[in-house]
Amino acid sequence: MTTIKDIARLSGYSVGTVSRVLNNHPDVSPKAREVISRIIEEENFQPNSNAKLLKQTTASAVTVFVKGTSNVFFENLLEKIQETFKENGEEISVVFLDETANEVETAIQICMERKPKGIVFLGGNLKYFEESFAKITAPCVLVTVSAASLPFANLSSFTTDDIKGASDAVDYLIRKGHRQIGIVGGSLNTEDGLVSGERISGAEAVLKKNHLAFSYEKDYEPSRFSMASGYEATRRLLEKNDEITGIFALSDMVAVGALRAIQDKGLRVPEDISVIGYDGIEYTRYAVPRIATIRQDIDMLAKRTVEDLLMRISYRRSTVHEVIPYRVITGESIAVRKP
């Protein structure tokens, strides 16, 4: 394995000078730079980043933690965030975590090793933030979960109002004449994160406001945020309640499963049952029928996240907790209820 010592020997310069060339340090003669660069090129030398990071105190690239590896919404968002950082001349480093992993502990570890100049969390569990975020000093942004209630001076957050979004989704079904509305997805267990709790409570609130009956036993089925799980949950829901004419799926992936489950039961969407999803992933535009959904504004979420983080990295700004607007997307999966 070639190391910096080999390059030093080969070039006739010292290890220190080679290191300076490697790090684009200004105090190097053009000649030395040229000779050393050539040798590095010839040897195809890559400095060992373990050694580098062990010594280096300067900050490294912004790190993005993505919670959940097959979350299409986060994927879309990540792509946009990456693009926006790039427009600002910043490369980022991405870490994918399991749905159940502790993102804050992982970040603490990475901070020690890599000293990122900033961190973005795509999704997160507030419990972990409460427990140990205090150990992180770099500027951070939490996306899709609000950190407004937390006392940290280095943690901004950008979210969609899930309560309001969910109530708009259900309200849409109600305005189309639906009275028997089922909810599919997420879980009633508050340990599983805020998102599903907020969407369910937003939905419930608007049902109550319209004096429509709703019970967890008859009108709700939990599921993970996947097609397969949404499919099974919808089957169970239709099994136990055949009066439902409108379904609110807590995520678009769940809605995809719901569409198939409904049709496998010999019913049609939207003629027999209307469906609305949540998130606004690309797929909703290609599904047949196109799926009505609450589209989170991915562009804006990405733009504000990057802006805020870069400003706070460069200047001492205080954190913000912003709610990004969403849009109700009509789609083709909702019809007026048949009389």
Q: By the criterion CB under 8 A, which residues form the site for a second copy? A: 1, 46, 48-51, 53-54, 69-70, 75, 78-79, 94, 96, 108-109, 112-113, 227-228, 231, 256-257, 259-260, 263, 282-283, 285-288
- Residue pair 98/154 in contact (Cβ under 8 Å)? The answer is no
In whole angstroms, give the CA distance from residue 232 to residue 224: 10
What residue 338 binds from a second copy, DNA, none (CB within 5 to 8 A, per partner kind)?
none
| Helix extents (H) in 97-157 | 103-114, 126-132
Query: Given 3-state DSSP classes, what are the helix, strand and coil percentages for the chain, each rounded to the nearest 5?
Result: 45, 15, 35
Residue 154 CB, nearest distance to a second copy (Å)? 17
Residue 115 CB, nearest distance to DNA (Å)? 10
Q: What angle do CA 276, 332, 280 make, to 5 degrees?
A: 50
Residue 306 CB, nearest distance to DNA (Å)? 26
Q: Show the tokens assigned to 7.
A: 């390059």
Residue 310 CB, nearest distance to a second copy (Å)? 22
Binding piece for DNA, criterion CB under 7 A, among 45-53, 88-96, 141-149, 220-228: 45-53
Residue 262 CB, nearest distance to DNA (Å)? 55
- Residue pair 294/280 in contact (Cβ under 8 Å)? The answer is yes
Q: How many other C-beta atoms can be found within 10 angstroms of the C-beta atom of residue 232? A: 17
What residue 57 binds from a second copy, DNA, none (CB within 5 to 8 A, per partner kind)?
DNA
Q: Residue 248 class from Cβ within 10 Å (0-12 exposed, 13-18 middle, 19+ buried)?
A: buried
Establish if 23 lies at the interface with DNA (CB under 7 A): yes
What residue 88 binds from a second copy, DNA, none (CB within 5 to 8 A, per partner kind)?
none
Binding piece for DNA, criterion CB under 7 A, among 18-26, 96-104, 136-144, 325-333: 18-26
Establish if 26 lies at the interface with DNA (CB under 7 A): yes
Q: Show the tokens assigned to 174.
A: 């109600």
Residue span 58-77 as binding mask against DNA, x where in contact by CB under 7 A, dash where not? x-------------------
- How many residues touch DNA under the rule CB under 7 A: the total is 31
Return the number of the residue (4 or 138) whose C-beta is nearest DNA.
Answer: 4
- Residue pair 330/276 in contact (Cβ under 8 Å)? The answer is no
Q: Show the tokens assigned to 265.
A: 């039961």
Return the number of the residue (64 or 174) whose C-beta is nearest a second copy.
Answer: 64
- Contact residue for DNA among 9, 47, 126, 329 (CB under 7 A): 47
Return the number of the residue (307 or 332) whose C-beta is nearest a second copy.
Answer: 332
DSSP state of 116: B
Q: What are phi and psi of 156, to 5 degrees?
A: -90, 165
